[in-house]
């Protein structure tokens, strides 16, 4: 039946719509941190629908909220008052750290970043955007145009002029050999030099940890140092929290807080985990930025009642069960376990990350050269062992991405680490 579905998939869907595995999976149901395929095979899920099943599969509190809301009304658009949307916006505004915050809901991270770019360019009257090398911000025309990862940018055409800044990948590039303080200073000098050769940009958009790029990150404090330079020139800072938000990094609720000495970003985008699988994205910005648009606008599906009910229930569960603290504790154990396992695998260049957001970079042994075939082999071996993980990477690297639901327990972390250790050893 799966082969029949695969044939139908290929007959009607785009060739560029990626599928994992030589024999793609049809996932039929899930519970907790596990999913099952159409053949009845059970897998420990360490990728959560691309970091989207944030708390757990079939979380009773979320499924109950969705069911009850569906029995009342599913959708009405933003043309009418919407109590769940207002309630979730109030909670997110308070959690954001942004003063006098306004929240606009979208259906995805791509749409959230697209909206943030619209706000920044309208507010600043500039179509120049600063973005990080190795970045990814979505698949819309504007967000593809600022993506600093050629593997995910199918066109050079763009409504924006994009200039790329160095610093998002600590262990590669011309400054990799420097200590953290000198690295930050060199990146700031690079930014200042770049700004000296261009007309006033609207904003810098940056992921605190680069998701599709392979869970790469700069030293803590880089974006705070950038913010000081930007603020002097009136340039906005957009923090793309689509993958890093909601406590996934363990140490902080938002990824930007690792760079927070100069305060919160001017604009913040979010998506993925807040809906636990329901389609929620959004933008938070200071009121004068959010309200700068001088034309009418609505959202047909952004903030619809059923997704907002899911978001409220999911956020409540996350906070009441301290899943950020769990990500810190269990994630710390998992990353150390994976580092110990990888220490004897020459193909592993680096194990990096924080909380439950861990990247394992695969290269040809003894070099910095990407080895996508070996990374794919580890992915397959992990699946055969009963573990689902992701992959990514830029700068010609191949990285495995490990991002389980935030309710992962110690036993499951140990089980997943053991499977992944066997998968890594199988490539030697």
Of the pLDDT bands very low, low, confident and very high (cuts 50, 70, 90), residue 153 is confident
Average confidence score pLDDT of the chain: 95
| Other Cβ atoms closer than 10 A to 344 | 11
Which of 347, 355, 351 is CA-nearest to residue 330? 355
Q: Which helix (H) or strand (E) holds 366?
A: none
DSSP summary character for residue 168: S
Contact 140, 110 (CB under 8 A): yes
- Percentage of residues in the chain having pLDDT higher than 90: 90
Mean pLDDT, residues 91-104 taken together: 98
Position 371 confidence tier, pLDDT thresholds 50, 70, 90: very high
CA dihedral 181, 186, 192, 196 (to 10 degrees): 170
Q: What residue ranges do the domains of the chain occupy?
A: 2-58+322-425, 64-320
Tell whether the model's pLDDT for residue 1 goes beyond 70: no
Q: Which residue stretches of 303-356 are H helix?
A: 305-320, 323-342
Cα-based distances in Å from 297 to 79, 292, 294, 300, 426:
10, 12, 9, 10, 54
Say yes or no to pLDDT of 125 above 90.
Answer: yes
What percentage of residues in the chain have a pLDDT greater than 70? 99
pLDDT of residue 396: 63
- Indicate the class that CATH gives domain 64-320: alpha beta
State pLDDT tens for residues 320-369: 999 999 999 999 999 999 999 999 999 999 999 999 999 999 999 989 99
Average pLDDT over residues 61-73: 98
DSSP bridge pairs for 392:
399
Predicted pLDDT at 395: 58
- The predicted pLDDT at position 224 comes to 96
Max Cα separation, the chain?
A: 61
Query: Average of pLDDT values for 100-124?
Result: 97
Q: Does domain 2-58+322-425 have CATH number 3.40.50.300?
A: no
- pLDDT tens readout for residues 187-209: 999 999 999 999 899 999 999 99
């Amino acid at each position: 039946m799966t082969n029949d579905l695969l044939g139908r998939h290929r007959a009607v869907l785009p060739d560029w719509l990626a599928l994992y595995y030589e024999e793609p999976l049809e996932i039929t149901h899930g519970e907790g941190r596990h999913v099952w395929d159409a053949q009845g095979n059970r897998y420990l899920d360490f990728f959560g629908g691309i970091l989207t099943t944030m708390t757990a599969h079939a979380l009773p509190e979320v499924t109950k909220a969705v069911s009850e809301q569906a029995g009342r009304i599913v959708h009405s658009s933003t043309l009418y008052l919407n109590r769940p949307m207002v309630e979730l916006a109030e909670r997110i505004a308070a959690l954001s750290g942004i003063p006098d915050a306004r929240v606009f809901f979208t259906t995805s991270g791509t749409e959230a970043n697209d909206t943030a770019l619209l706000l920044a360019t309208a507010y600043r009257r500039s179509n120049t955007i600063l973005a990080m090398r190795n970045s990814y911000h979505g698949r819309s025309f504007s967000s593809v145009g600022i993506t600093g990862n050629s593997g995910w940018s199918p066109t050079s055409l763009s409504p924006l002029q994009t200039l790329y800044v160095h610093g998002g990948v600590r262990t590669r590039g011309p400054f990799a050999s420097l200590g953290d303080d000198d690295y930050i200073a060199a990146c700031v000098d690079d930014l200042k030099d770049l700004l000296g050769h261009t007309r006033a940009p609207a904003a810098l958009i940056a992921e605190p940890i680069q998701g599709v790029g392979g869970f790469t990150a700069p030293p803590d404090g880089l974006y705070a140092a950038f913010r000081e330079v930007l603020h002097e020139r009136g340039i906005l800072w957009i923090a793309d929290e689509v993958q890093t938000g909601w406590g996934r990094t363990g140490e902080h609720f938002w990824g930007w807080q690792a760079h927070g000495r100069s305060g919160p970003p001017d604009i913040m985008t979010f998506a993925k985990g807040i809906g636990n699988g329901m389609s929620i994205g959004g933008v938070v910005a200071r009121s004068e930025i959010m309200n700068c648009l001088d034309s009418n606008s609505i959202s047909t599906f952004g903030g619809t009642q059923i997704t907002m009910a899911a978001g409220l229930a999911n956020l409540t569960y996350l906070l009441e069960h301290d899943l950020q603290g769990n990500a810190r504790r269990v994630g710390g154990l998992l990353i150390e376990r994976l580092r110990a396992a990888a220490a004897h695998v020459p193909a592993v260049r680096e194990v990096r990350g924080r909380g439950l957001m861990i990247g394992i970079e695969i290269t040809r042994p003894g070099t910095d050269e990407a080895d996508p075939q070996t990374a794919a082999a580890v992915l397959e071996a992990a699946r055969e062992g009963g573990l689902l993980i992701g992959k990514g990477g830029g700068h010609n690297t191949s990285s495995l991405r490990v991002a389980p639901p935030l309710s992962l327990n110690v036993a499951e972390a140990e089980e997943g680490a053991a499977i992944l250790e066997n998968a890594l050893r199988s490539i030697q």
